[in-house]
Amino acid sequence: MKPLRVFFTGVGGQGTLTATKLLAETALEQNIQVNAGEIHGMAQRGGVVHSFVLLGGYLSPKISQGEADVILGFEPMETIRALSFLKKGGLVLSSEDPVPPISVTTGKQTYPSLDYIKSETLKCSPEARFIPCISLAKQTGVVQTANTVLMGAFFSMGLLPFGLEVLLDSIKKRLKPGLVDVNLKAARLGADFIKEHSG
């Protein structure tokens, strides 16, 4: 496969690290070389979480600024903060539903408007896509599946050497039985959104 650097960003409690692990383990199962890890994060405290998956034989175990082929943003403000990691011509795929981080809830920062976030992101990634992940997740009855909505969208875009069906199989194998059906639905909702809003 063409090597691919995927940078994940979100806030603690969104399942960012779960999504990272899911992509890494799925790729390994498809016999693709994987490097994965967490740059920093305070997942237990609702803080910023950055993680990454490097696919296709990278020797370096990290992503430096200007190197990511794809940014997967699980929270819009964290997406805009992570843009410096995106390479020229890279793709941003982000939730458009805010989950204000600690810095906002404590009053240290104000939350930018979604229009501003989108316009700044599109300057760096003209093909950037924003998805109502939380709104779609609510259709499953479990709002915590918003991370899987984003993954369903990502797996359906043709950037990976495998598609949505591989993700669905991976969900069946890796998640607890009680979480499988809602996450399958979430992944399909993300994929359907991309199909409906492409072109």
Question: When comparing pLDDT for 154 and 106, which is higher?
Answer: 154
Pairing of strands 34-41, 48-55: antiparallel
Which phi and psi (to 5°) does residue 10 adopt? -175, -165
Q: Report the alpha-carbon distance of residue 13 to residue 19 in Å, rounded.
A: 12
| Average pLDDT for the chain | 92
Whether pTM exceeds 0.75: yes
**Residue 46 — pLDDT band, cuts 50, 70, 90?**
low
CATH of domain 4-196: 3.40.920.10
- Indicate the helix (H) or strand (E) that contains 105: helix 102-105
- pLDDT tens for 64-97 read 999 999 999 999 999 999 999 999 999 999 999 9
Which phi and psi (to 5°) does residue 66 adopt? 80, 15
- Report the percentage of the chain scoring pLDDT > 70: 95
At position 121, the amino acid (one-letter code) is T
